[in-house]
Structure 1
Amino acid sequence: MGFVYVANRGDDTVSVIASSTNSVIATVPVGDDPLNIVTTPDGKFVYVGNIDDNTVSVIATSTNSVIATIGVGILGVSVGIVITPDGKFVYVRNGIDDTVSVIASSTNSVIATIGVGNSDFPVGMVITPDGKFVYVANGDDDTVSVIATSTNSVIATVPVGDDPDNMVITPDGKFVYVANEDGDTVSVIATSTNSVIATIGVGILGVSVGIVITPDGKFVYVGNGATVSVIATSTNSVIATIPVGGSPVGMVITPDGRFVYVANRFDATVSVIATSTNSVIATVPVGDVPLNIVTTPDGKFVYVANGDDATVSVIATSTNSVIATVPVGDSPVGMVITPK
């Protein structure tokens, strides 16, 4: 069933939840203020970005212990972190010094530091499915930097909208969709030319935009102030606007693409959208200030990190009801689920 790793900002730990029992089986001390978290594709290691001491903790999932602590750049108030599809390299966005640190997972050491654009609140990073390029949102200079992983150098800087934040990439790697937080738009970058081919007006985006793409790449869902905009990638136009709860910051799509689960930060709820009708079919009460949301690989369960009550809510997707509330550490935000 896999394991859920939860970064607890308030007490500098990572809680490990066994999805088979929905209980915490380990609590792993990490660095100061852990935020974002990723797993290697094989599930053997978890990388945790600690924003207050500018480090990345590496957890071996076989023992649930930290095997390395890696110094990176000055992270700032957030951290973007992605891993190549082969699991060989981890890219970490350093907000204060406007760089990206490249970690070789074989040695857990920094092998390159790449200068990118300016962003005091770095979040948005995506990597192409073939692992050849990393796209980095630079919120303060309204650009996206494109890094070639073969040389670990910036090969293009793409002007986008005002304050680019989170991003998604199509499954075929041909297009990147960039949510521009202050511009209330989504820029579409063609990766073949690294140029913007469309700018799409959406709702009022707000802070920490939720954005996801369906597994077939046909639709992009963007969280606005209290709605979700649906973009058809065939026309790059908004085809639906769906009312949800207040401040939909966390979003996840089930692996079959049938449902979008939306964590509404201000309402302590999760809205469930059916992609076949683009309508809300259920509203699920969860804990206080839900911030992040992930789904199991089989799509049977959704885990919601409740930032203000130190819990994770577990939703059964068959009934859209909470089947467990798991106590974790203080201020949980980042989550990742390992493969089976």
Structure 2
Amino acid sequence: MTNTDDDSVSVIDPSTNAVIDTITAAEGIGDGPIGVAVDLPRARAYVANNGDGIVNGTVSVIDTSTHQVVGPPIIVGLSPFGVAVDSTRARAYVTNAGDATVSVINTVTNAVIDTISLGTSALGVAVDPTRARAYVTNEGHDSVSVIDTNTNAVIDTITEAEGIGDGPFAVAVDTRRARAYVTNANDDNVSVINTSTNQVVGSPITVGDTPQGVAVDPQRPRAYVTNLFDDTVSVINTANSQVVATIGGLGDAPAGVAVDPRRRRAYVANLFSDNVSVINTATNQVIEPPVIVGDRPTGVVVF
């Protein structure tokens, strides 16, 4: 769990929902940590440090077995925001919102091996390893860029005219069902992309006020969408693209979300209340008292 305003990462034990460690700036976390993703086979977490928007940002690498930052920070582009890992190809993709690029990191060597220019703002990123694709939301351009992860070339751009909404923010991929879910923050809805054809399918799914994060349960046909300004989570049945539940009882300004399919839990970072809500995904009920973390929790990943 990244805590953007106090430059730290909270480590939560999902079996107890207790914070078991806090990794601080003194231990190697950079300025403004925001996005986070895990390379499970290599036991590494990659944290995008957004920085001050003037000099290039960095990525901190954490050994998930020891909770120690390993190696020097990796210098990427301006204002890094999102991170997604393709463990199959040993790559991490980091969106740089300030210069409209994506930095590609080799997760074996932790070196930047490519920089992909998008020409538009870049925020959210998700990977479909089965189809060798990365999807990047371009918030200011109302589009989604599609990257071939074998070549790191942009092979498609899905535009507003093709069904992307206003202010695309986050994206999550359901590899099993060949779908990507894009939250459109300014339209209060979610666009669904067929990742086999890179075409938007169906009508946008109406959710809550200013949708932010989205996470897919790979074992059950569900997607979870945080709605920043009405303090709810919308639950989408990914088999029919219908909202089947709206979960309240969360903290203030739910932002990031991640799913633990094995334990049937979803973890929601509440940006303005500095805590994490835990949802039972079998019942769609908030089942635990909120977990207190650092200042402005944003990114969350479960492994």
Give the TM-score category using the shorter length: 0.7 to 0.9
C-alpha distance 28-170 of structure 1, shift in aligned 2 (>3 A): closer
| TM-fit CA distance, 1:275 | 7.2
Query: How far off its partner does 1:79 sit?
Result: 1.3
CA 1:8–1:179: 2 relative to 1, 3 Å? closer
Q: Could you state the TM-score of these two structures normalised by the residue count of structure 1?
A: 0.71
Give the structure 1 partner of residue 163 of structure 2.
none
In structure 1, what is the Cα distance between the partners aligned to 2:31 and 2:223?
A: 32
Question: What pairs up with 1:269-284 in 2 under 5 angstroms?
Answer: 269-270=232-233, 278=242, 280=244, 283-284=247-248
Where 2:140 maps in the other structure, the secondary structure is: coil
For 2:149 and 2:184, locate their aligned partners in 1 and report how far apart those are by CA, in whole Å: 25
Tell me which residue corresponds to 1:27.
22
Alignment CA distance shift 1:314-1:157 (3 Å): closer
In the alignment, structure 1 segments of 5+ residues that lack a partner are 1-5, 203-221, 227-245
1:247 positional shift: 3.7
Amino acid at match of 1:11: D
Following the alignment from structure 2 to structure 1, what is the Cα–Cα distance between the partners of residues 243 and 146? 36
Q: Does 1:337 align with 2:302?
A: yes
User: What is the percentage of aligned positions where both structures have the same residue?
Assistant: 37
Q: Alpha-carbon deviations, 1:157-203, whole Å to 9, x = none?
A: 425115544334452586656555567783746655x6x4x57543x
1:92-113 per-residue CA deviation (whole Å, 9 max, x = no partner) reads 1112222211111111111111
C-alpha distance in 2 between matches for 1:287 and 1:56? 28
Query: TM-score, normalization: structure 2?
Result: 0.79
Contact 2:234 2:243 in 1 (8 A): no
Work out whether residues 270 and 285 of structure 1, in 8 Å CA contact, stay in contact via their aligned partners in 2. Answer: no
1:135 paired residue number: 135
Provide the aligned length of Structure 1 versus Structure 2. Answer: 286
In the TM superposition, structure 1's runs of 4+ consecutive aligned residues that sit over 6 Å from their partners are 273-277
Q: Alpha carbons of 1:165 and 1:251: their partners in 2 closer, same or farther (altered >3 Å)?
A: closer
Matched residue type, 1:70? I
Q: Specify the code of the residue in structure 2 equivalent to 1:61.
A: T
Deviations 1:15-63 (A, max 9, x none): 0011122211110121111111101133711100111150001010111
Name the counterpart of 1:59. 62
Report the counterpart of residue 16 of structure 1 in structure 2: 11
1:274-303 CA distances to partner (integer Å, 9 max, x unpaired)? 779956557441222222222223142222
The 5-angstrom pairing of residues 1-340 of structure 1 reads 6-29=1-24, 30-42=29-41, 44-52=43-51, 54-68=57-71, 69-75=73-79, 79-86=81-88, 88-119=90-121, 122-130=122-130, 132-154=132-154, 156-161=155-160, 163-171=167-175, 176=180, 178=182, 186=191, 188=193, 191=196, 196=199, 198=200, 200-202=202-204, 222=205, 224=207, 226=208, 246-257=209-220, 260-270=223-233, 278=242, 280=244, 283-317=247-281, 320-338=285-303
After superposition, the Cα gap between the structure-2 partners of 1:116 and 1:260, relative to the gap in structure 1 and judged at 3 Å, is closer
- State the match for 1:230 in structure 2: none
**Cα distance in 1 between the residues matched to 2:286 and 2:140:** 40
How far did residue 138 of structure 1 move? Answer: 3.0
Separation in 2, partners of 1:316, 1:176: 23
Quote how far apart the aligned CAs of 1:329 are.
Answer: 0.5
Provide closer, same or farther for how the CA distance between residues 44 and 263 of structure 1 changes in structure 2, counting only shifts above 3 A. Answer: same
TM-aligned CA distance change 1:276 to 1:308, over 3 Å: same
Question: For residues 249-281 of structure 1, what are the alpha-carbon distances to aligned partners after superposition, in whole Å with 9 as ceiling and x for unaligned?
Answer: 344444442555443433434455677995655
2:246, 2:193 → 1: CA distance?
31
The separation in 1 between residues aligned to 2:221 and 2:140, in whole angstroms, is 35
Q: What secondary structure sits across from 1:73 in the alignment?
A: strand
**8 A Cα contact 1:180 1:187, kept in partner:** no
Unmatched segments (≥5 aa) in structure 2: 161-165
Distance 1:271 1:133 in 2: 26
Q: 1:152 to 1:300 in 2, by over 3 A?
A: closer
Larger radius of gyration: 1
Tell me the distance in 2 between the aligned counterparts of 1:141 and 1:87. 29
Structure 2 counterpart of 1:249, one-letter code:
Q
